[in-house]
Chains A and B, each alone.
Chain A
């Protein structure tokens, strides 16, 4: 029997734009190679609400964007600073309650209370997480998981902030188009903003903290300070998405501290590819609508959902975007050995 021996060979595409220098301007073709994927993403996001069949699916798009912002903050913290935070729900909850209180007590417009909630929430979360910053890896993850659980119990037990009923009558955004495009714009801004940030000098310090915190100390830089700055950025972004969520639901309650908000961003990051930033966004655009579609199955929903997740982890553990980027940037061919 004649068994042909073959192996897969990967070649980088002969296009200079990937050297991220002036070469990007050499030709229309190379310019297109560089900008087309970004353009498709931006245009797709902007057209999405118009393409949705009805109010219900438009609302789903808004929720997807909320999760996507949260997943971006998770990916930033986990992959570029080395802090795996399970406190997504904590960020959502803190931001949500702040904007709800500002809106119902002082009658602030959402367009004012949301940014305030982001900054104030970021500060509060950073202060509360400050004692955990020396922790690393799984220990940091476990401790941050306790925060949302504890907050929900505290509100319930002390019956503060509306107790189990939550805060009713929170004002909504001026109209649903403002709501839609606000969250979509935020996803795009944070997506490209964070990617720019991690390539700046301060971003390199964040990545260095993840790579080797001892060497950062030896370089005369306080790692606690930079971890705190990174947590402030990430929790501020998380609080911002939580604040938007409250104005979309027009209600704030302890379900904002539900574990969904901690777990789904991680699942989305696993599916999308960690460290790519666009991957987690894509992951949210897959996971959240699937979860909506599976509603027809009732309680079996979680089973199918888990199966999809397991499938991704087993068969494409690198994530869609890592896989996609490789396919886009490299030519694969079989060669005889």
Chain B
């Protein structure tokens, strides 16, 4: 018997006025998977995330997370159930030092109930746990970086802080909205092992990306969106070979060539 997928999206439609951002989109994510969602600009990738996590209300459709219907629930309730997300435009708490940024998720009802990241939220001092998480995610503990104001951190660290905020909640699933965008090649190179680590820790991931080369390295399944509709789904190789994808996403150019420029 097949296992029930951790997340099931059924016929989700979102209309902004007359524009259909998502048109009866259905997909599912199995436990432990890394699903990549790609698509040209304006194809509805971020709208999917916002609909799933409750930040915008979908026009119709249902989202089932761990067997429970979460469509129409408030964002904090969905995060409380273990479905965390990062934001494409980073949203750190600018006036707080980086490690204090993590006190907020560690203070959440979920972290208090489950202990948060490795149980530290329940037992330990939240400041210390915050620095532990930051070290895990690539902030050097003994440097001054974790103590800097979040507003003064470079983009790479702010992206990591987004991920750290999710980890503090001890989530079952994380949706990363363009976590690689705006990073230099070397910054991405250091992020990829992190993502792989998350998968090993048993966290299911959805990754929305433009950086195909790195995405295809980590993702085991890829879904392609265009104009709010799913045009292809499968393993990275299958998707790359798909004629429809070449048409819609890459235009007339060769896939390999686009990937080299990405």
Contacts and interface: CB of A to CB of B under 8 A. Distances in A.
A218 B96 contact: no
Interface stretch (B12-20, B105-113, B226-234, B247-255): B105-113
Contacts of B80: 220
B93 interface: yes
A206 B87 CA distance: 20
Contacts of A223: 76
A19 B206 CA distance: 41
Interface size class of B (residues with CB under 8 A): 20 to 34
A212 B75 CA distance: 14
B71 interface: no
Nearest to B89: A214
Contacts of A221: 76, 104-105, 107-109
Interface string A195-233: 000000110110110111011111111110000000000
A204 B101 CA distance: 8
B95 A211 contact: yes
Contacts of B53: 218
Contacts of B105: 219-221
B103 interface: yes
A218 B87 contact: yes
A214 B55 CA distance: 8
B160 interface: no
A207 B108 contact: no
A217 B126 contact: no
Interface in B77-93: 79-80, 84-85, 87, 91-93
B74 interface: yes
B94 interface: yes
A217 B76 CA distance: 5
Nearest to B105: A219
A207 B76 CA distance: 17
Main secondary structure of the interface of A (DSSP, over half): helix
A212 B76 contact: no
Given A201-B126, A212-B91, A212-B93, A218 B107 contact: no
A210 B94 CA distance: 10
B104 A204 contact: yes
A202 B126 CA distance: 11
Interface in A114-164: none
Contacts of B95: 207, 210-211
B159 interface: no
Nearest to A221: B108
A208 B104 contact: yes
B102 to A, nearest CB: 9
Interface of B: 53, 55, 74-76, 79-80, 84-85, 87, 91-96, 100-101, 103-111, 126, 165-166, 168-169
